[in-house]
Amino acid sequence: MSASTTATVRHDWNLAEVKALFVQPFNDLLFQAQSVHRAHFDPNRVQVSTLLSIKTGACPEDCKYCPQSGHYNTGLEKEKLMEVQKVLEEAARAKAIGSTRFCMGAAWKHPSAKDMPYVLQMVAGVKAMGLETCMTLGRLDEDQTKALAQAGLDYYNHNLDTSPEFYGSIITTRTYSERLQTLAHVRDAGMKICSGGILGMGESLDDRAGLLIQLANLPEHPESVPINMLVKVAGTPLENAEDVDPFDFIRMLAVARILMPQSHVRLSAGREAMNEQMQALAFLAGANSIFYGDKLLTTANPQADKDMQLFARLGIAPEAREEHADEVHQAAIEQALVEQKSSDLFYDAASA
């Protein structure tokens, strides 16, 4: 299968085709993925997002990977929904360090009627700053989805997590069809979709392929596809799960890029455990989006200055916003990269 044919957007992938991509020699797979990537994106630009937990802990879902689930004792304290002004202050900080999208996550099965007005204020306030807006709030009904769209929400994150066949081994409190229905509501309301999954939960190669097939065979591909590596948290059922082989993780990114050539493939949770060489391979495989900052909801994330240093060493720059590129802000980001490259901190890191 040539790179030129896989650059075509398809919605009819089958298991045999996708498994054939996975088992290619590693170099052939990366070459194919990089060729597809270059057909649709600048290979040296990466979209940068910041993620904030606006309501932490005591989630009624039983997702076996999640420290926020109320079913497990992980030592995570329950917190109420953040005040709107505090969320807006965090969004301003995110913009100042170079993020173009601000993502807000709440540990809910679904948002309640009493919380929705505050959530809508957050969306409108972040949007007014010139940032793209993204939220993950659990299951949505049609009216909630329309309200979020009217408030200015650009993206809704709702991961499928794994294949339909393996899903019941990880989550029992929400069905796969409910997740797909929420994605349909989001698309019908005119918003963009952020949806991906997690590696390292004990899934098979068929399950990894099955997850990507579900995403790639949607009527429209998700605009953003986060690929997470399990962060093992003490107290969750998956705290002793087997580590993901780094090359297998890179293969997942590469196949996602081939199946969804116009989507942003996000290097997401688990990046704290990846060295710079693995992250560089991830970008070569077609990953072109990251979360930026010190925390990813409740787990660690590489610090922003380390990301800037790595970007400088690789010759990568943050991607400007698609709809309204702020040239002054973009220039400031690129100047920061230059300054990082010439700083003592940068050279210390490079020689380490």
CATH number at residue 211: 3.20.20.70
- What's CA 311's distance to the chain center, in Å? 18
| Catalytic hit among 63, 101, 208, 271 | 63
What residue type is 247 in one-letter code?
F
103 is catalytic: yes
Q: What angle do CA 254, 45, 100 make, to 5 degrees?
A: 110
Instruction: For residue 333, tell me if it sits in a domain.
Output: no
In 3D space, the residue among 93, 113, 111, 110 whose CA is nearest the CA of residue 102 turns out to be 93
Strand pairing class (197-199; 192-194): unpaired
Q: Which of 101, 134, 139, 271 is the catalytic position?
A: 134
Of 174, 179, 251, 266, which residue is the catalytic one? 266
Q: Is 103 annotated as a binding residue?
A: yes
List the domain range (segments joined by +) for residue 230: 15-320
- Of the residues 66, 139, 179, 257, only one is catalytic, namely 66
* φ, ψ for residue 161, nearest 5 deg: 75, -50
The enclosing H or E element of 122 equals helix 116-128
Are 160 and 213 spatial neighbours (Cβ–Cβ below 8 Å)?
A: no
Name the token pair of 143: 């009216």
Q: Is 194 a catalytic residue?
A: yes
**CA dihedral over 239, 242, 247, 251, signed as positive or negative:** negative
Annotation says 59 is catalytic: yes
Name the nearest CA neighbour of 230 among 252, 198, 271. 198
Per-residue pLDDT of the chain (352 residues; tens, 9 = 90+): 444 445 689 999 999 999 999 999 999 999 999 999 999 999 999 988 888 887 765 566 767 777 666 554 545 455 567 888 888 988 898 888 777 888 888 877 788 888 899 899 999 999 999 998 999 888 899 999 999 999 999 999 999 999 999 999 998 888 999 999 999 999 999 999 999 999 999 999 999 999 999 999 999 999 999 999 998 887 888 888 899 999 999 999 999 999 999 999 999 888 888 899 999 999 999 999 987 754 433 444 445 578 888 999 999 998 875 443 344 334 443 444 444 444 443 333 333 3
Residue 7 domain-assigned (yes or no): no
**Does 9 map to a domain?**
no
Q: What Cα–Cα distance (Å) separates residue 108 from each residue in 81, 119, 164?
A: 10, 12, 22
Known binding residue 174? Answer is no
Residue 3 lies in a domain: no
Instruction: Please list the residues that pair with 194 across neighbouring strands.
Output: 157, 224
Residue 257 assigned to a binding site: no
Residue partners of 250: CB distance under 8 A and separation at least 6:
26, 30, 278, 281, 282, 285
Other C-beta atoms lying within 10 Å of the C-beta of residue 205: 15
Phi, psi of 179 (to 5 degrees): -65, -45
Q: Is residue 343 part of a domain?
A: no
> By 3-state DSSP, what share of the chain in percent is helix, strand and coil, each rounded to 5?
45, 15, 40
Given 139, 194, 208, 251, the catalytic residue:
194
As for how many domains the chain has, the answer is 1
**Spatial separation of the C-alpha atoms in residues 12 and 338, rounded to whole Å:** 44
Residue 134 assigned to a binding site:
yes
Residue 33 included in any domain: yes
187 carries a ligand binding annotation: no
